[in-house]
């Protein structure tokens, strides 16, 4: 079985996001970038399938600027076999990403595609679903457990009311939720080994996909600052404030 995992380069989750002075977006110059956390979980799951002898190849793909190669290298250092960079300077929205991934899937013919449930920069939560729809493949989104069977895969999904279990026919698309696994750190020997692994570079034009944006960003702004709270001495004062100042009771 062949597994394809998408890894997005995003601003590191520890970085405090700053909006650009001209309100056109967020500051990314000199900002630490990292692999989207849900994609680390996707890579880890692919590695576990390999280690269990279920998958024989794990291919990672990233779409974006040339520096996405670093994100691919991180996945290779975790243990993935090879990488594909779809290189573009254009800003990619989920529909364009899904179409490009669809073309990569067409070339690679994986049995399973694993993507994150959302990218922590745009929080779209769309790519996996759009990809499954474009391919006409079953999808198991928000996976917290996966169990491959014979030509099928059982996915336990995190849904609002609890957990839902679905069985998908492969090939299928899965999106990862936080509880699926805890991703490993790359060991030093594996970081060295990763330097020799292959990364193929293609462009959206090679894949025949028009990545033109369908959305226009009008303005990016910080959320309004929250006012400081006050401490009350006792419950009576709290009730008094709720009744007479906030007028909510
Ligand atoms: P989104 O729909 O933007 O929230 O992204 C969901 C998932 O799609 C991410 O966790 C990634 O696995 C994948 N993805 C989205 N954009 C990219 C990208 N530019 N490169 C690689 N993977 C991506």
62: Cβ contacts below 8 Å, ≥ 6 apart? 6, 7, 8, 9, 68, 69, 71, 72, 83, 84, 85, 86
Q: 166 near 155, Cβ under 8 Å?
A: yes
Q: Is 111 in the pocket of ligand 1 (CB under 6 A)?
A: no
Q: For residues 186-198, give the mean pLDDT.
A: 96
Instruction: Quick: pLDDT tens for 123-132.
Output: 999 999 999 9
- The residue count of the chain comes to 249
pLDDT of residue 98: 98
Cα gap 68→97, rounded to integer Å: 14
Strands 2-6 and 112-116: parallel
pLDDT above 90 for 215: no
pLDDT of residue 101: 98
Query: pTM score, two decimals?
Result: 0.92
Q: Is 142 in the pocket of ligand 1 (CB under 6 A)?
A: no
Q: Is residue 150 included in any domain, yes or no?
A: yes
Strands 139-148 and 152-159: antiparallel
pLDDT of residue 5: 98
> By residue range, what is the domain housing residue 176?
2-244
Cα gap 83→76, rounded to integer Å: 7
DSSP secondary structure of 188-222: HHHHHHHTTS-EEEE-TTTTT-----S-------P
Ligand 1 atom nearest to CA at 126: 2
Radius of gyration of the chain (CA): 21
Among 62-71, 108-117, 227-236, the least confident range: 227-236
Mean pLDDT value across the chain: 96
SS3 label, residue 183: coil
What confidence category does residue 104 fall into, taking pLDDT thresholds of 50, 70 and 90? very high
Phi, psi of 64, rounded to the nearest 5 degrees? 150, -150
Ligand 1 atom nearest to CA at 124: 4
Q: Is 154 in the pocket of ligand 1 (CB under 6 A)?
A: no
Give the distance (Å) from ligand 1 centre to CA of residue 242: 44
Q: Is residue 211 included in any domain, yes or no?
A: yes
What confidence category does residue 186 fall into, taking pLDDT thresholds of 50, 70 and 90? very high
Q: Is residue 208 included in any domain, yes or no?
A: yes
Residue 28 tokens read as 């990314």
* 231 CB burial (10 A radius; 0-12, 13-18, 19+): exposed
77: Cβ contacts below 8 Å, ≥ 6 apart? 186, 190, 191, 193, 194
Q: For residues 7-22, give the mean pLDDT.
A: 95
Residue 168 tokens read as 């998908």
What confidence category does residue 213 fall into, taking pLDDT thresholds of 50, 70 and 90? confident
What confidence category does residue 17 fall into, taking pLDDT thresholds of 50, 70 and 90? very high
pLDDT above 90 for 214: no
Q: Is residue 128 included in any domain, yes or no?
A: yes
Strands 152-159 and 162-169: antiparallel
Which residue owns the Cα nearest ligand 1 atom 4?
118
Q: How many domains does the chain have?
A: 1
Q: Is residue 61 included in any domain, yes or no?
A: yes
Give the distance (Å) from ligand 1 centre to CA of residue 247: 44
Instruction: Quick: pLDDT tens for 24-73.
Output: 999 988 999 999 999 999 999 999 999 999 999 999 999 999 999 999 99
User: Residue 82's domain is classified under what CATH number?
Assistant: 3.40.50.620
DSSP secondary structure of 64-104: ESTTHHHHHHHHHHHT--EEEEEE-SSPPPHHHHHHHHHHH
Neighbours of 134 (CB within 10 A): 16
Q: Is residue 249 included in any domain, yes or no?
A: no
Give the distance (Å) from ligand 1 centre to CA of residue 187: 25
Side-chain-side CA neighbours of 106 within 13 Å: the count stands at: 13
Q: 105 near 207, Cβ under 8 Å?
A: no
């Amino acid at each position: 079985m062949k597994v394809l995992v998408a890894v997005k380069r995003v601003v590191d989750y520890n970085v405090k996001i700053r909006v650009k002075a001209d309100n056109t977006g967020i500051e990314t110059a000199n900002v630490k970038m990292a692999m989207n956390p849900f994609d680390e979980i996707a890579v880890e799951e692919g590695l576990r399938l390999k280690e269990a002898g279920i998958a024989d190849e794990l291919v990672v793909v990233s779409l974006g600027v040339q520096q996405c190669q670093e994100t691919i290298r991180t996945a290779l250092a975790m243990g993935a076999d090879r990488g594909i960079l779809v290189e573009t300077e254009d800003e990619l929205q989920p529909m364009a990403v899904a179409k490009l991934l669809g073309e990569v899937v067409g070339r690679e013919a994986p049995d399973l595609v694993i993507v994150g449930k959302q990218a922590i920069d745009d929080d779209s939560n769309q790519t996996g679903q759009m990809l499954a729809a474009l391919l006409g493949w079953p999808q198991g989104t928000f996976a917290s457990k996966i169990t491959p069977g014979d030509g099928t895969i059982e996915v336990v999904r995190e849904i609002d009311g609890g957990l839902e279990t679905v069985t998908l026919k492969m090939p299928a698309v899965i999106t990862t939720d936080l509880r699926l696994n805890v991703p490993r750190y790359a060991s030093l020997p594996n970081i060295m080994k990763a330097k020799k692994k292959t990364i193929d570079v293609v462009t959206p034009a090679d894949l025949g996909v028009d990545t033109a944006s369908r959305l226009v960003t009008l303005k990016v702004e910080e959320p309004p600052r929250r006012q400081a709270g006050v401490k009350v001495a006792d419950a009576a004062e709290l009730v008094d404030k709720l009744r007479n100042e906030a007028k909510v009771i």
